[in-house]
A = this chain, B = another copy of it.
Amino acid sequence: MSNNQFKNLRKLFEENLNEQLFEQEADIELLKPMMYSLQTGGKRLRPTLLLAVLYIYGSKKIKLGMKTAIALEYIHTYSLIHDDLPAMDNDDLRRGQPTSHKQFDEATAILAGDALLTEAFGLIAEDDQLKPKQRIQLIQELVSASGAHGMVAGQIKDLQSERREISLDELKEIHSKKTGRLFSFSIDAAAIILDLDADVRGELSEFGRHFGLAYQIHNDLKDLTGNQELTGKSGNSDEVNEKNTYPYLLTTKGAVEALADEISQINQIIKKLEKDTGKPFSFLKEFVSYIDVTQLAKELNV
């Protein structure tokens, strides 16, 4: 499997997402802002990660996870819309495009987010390729990852930490809830859909956990290089939050080392998964291939 196949997986996801949106018979006033935010790109990391694990078990498995992958992107997208609101991070741009409340208005952005959040659960519930019991498990996991014990909890903790300096443990907790849990869901969802046994599930969860952490440290370091083009954000929120980042708490050098360590652990887990299952798990390396620690260290002079 190659980088091309990774791109194909993302393309396949986007095709299915668009199809799904055309099938939605929601009123155009609501469908427009939903589509706007769903279609302003992004790397589609979460759904592609889910589909990639299915692909590792055979290309026929991919379609079993498509609705769940779309649901996951709905949840991720609603969280971006609400996070960008003036009362929250107050961002005008997202991926280089006007945020939802800038493109439409605040009320529309709030409601588009609410609609995406609600419909996400509908997509999983209606997916008759899966057994009712699997759908229930997926919904429970998604609630746990994104609700009052997951993403939303992380978001409120993050907001409340804005005006004070936090500890490394607190930062880890915030990121684990705010972004880590949803990455873990990508992996856990694949395990539920594939009916994998507990051992493999455990290893996969570990992969998800380390992947989420690597993703966040990399983001923080990337922000330091100040490359707006790459992050596509206007940066308002980062100024406020600059102290509560890995580079600030670990030093830049420390954060680069922590990132290198996460990548190395991810590679070890992949090797172990490949050995234990006989499946080509090395494909998952694609998901960290965009992280170039050596290059990053050079750019940041550490």
Name the residue of chain B whose CB is nearest to the CB of A116.
B148
Whether B153 lies near A30 (C-beta < 8 A) is yes
B26 adjacent to A115 (CB under 8 Å): no
**Interface size grouping (class) on chain A:** 35 or more
Q: Are B115 and A87 in contact (CB under 8 A)?
A: no
| Residue from B27, B106, B131 within 8 A of A87 (CB atoms) | B106
A148's partner among B115, B135, B153, B157 (CB-CB below 8 A) is B115
A296 interfacial contact with B, CB 8 Å: no
Q: Give chain B nearest CB distance to A87 CB in angstroms.
A: 3
Number of copies of this protein chain within its complex: 2
Closest B residue to A117 using CB positions: B117
Q: Nearest Cβ distance between residue A19 and chain B, in whole angstroms?
A: 16
Distance between Cα atoms of A140 and B147 in the complex (Å): 19
**CB proximity of A213 to chain B, nearest CB, Å:** 21
Q: How far is A169 from B15 in the complex, measured between Cα atoms in Å?
A: 37
Residues of B within 8 A of A26 (CB): 148-149, 153
Q: Give 1 or 0 for each of A153-173: 1 = CB within 8 Å of chain B CB.
A: 101110110000000000000
Q: When the two chains form their complex, are residues B111 and A114 in contact, meaning their CB atoms are under 8 A apart?
A: no
- CB-CB under 8 A from A49, the residues of chain B are none
Given A34-B148, A143-B119, answer yes or no on A153-B27 (Cβ-Cβ < 8 Å).
yes
Contact assessment for B34 and A160 in the assembled complex, using a CB-CB cutoff below 8 Å? no
In chain B, what residue has the closest Cβ to A25? B149
Is A281 close to B, CB under 8 A? no
- A125 contact set on B, CB distance < 8 A: 136, 139-140, 143
Pick from B118, B126, B147: contact of A119, CB under 8 Å: B147
Q: A194 contacts the other chain (Cβ, under 8 Å)?
A: no
Asked if A254 is at the interface of the complex by the 8 Å CB criterion, the answer is: no
A sample of 11 inter-chain contacts (CB < 8 A) reads: A26-B148, A29-B156, A87-B110, A110-B110, A114-B152, A115-B153, A122-B140, A122-B147, A125-B140, A125-B143, A126-B140
Q: Give chain A's interface residues, CB within 8 Å of chain B.
A: 24-27, 29-31, 34, 78, 82, 85, 87-88, 105-108, 110-111, 113-115, 117-119, 121-122, 125-126, 131-133, 135-136, 139-140, 143-144, 146-149, 152-153, 155-157, 159-160
Beyond known contacts A26-B153, A132-B135: 11 more, CB 8 A cutoff = A27-B153, A87-B105, A88-B107, A111-B152, A111-B155, A114-B114, A114-B152, A117-B117, A121-B139, A131-B132, A132-B132
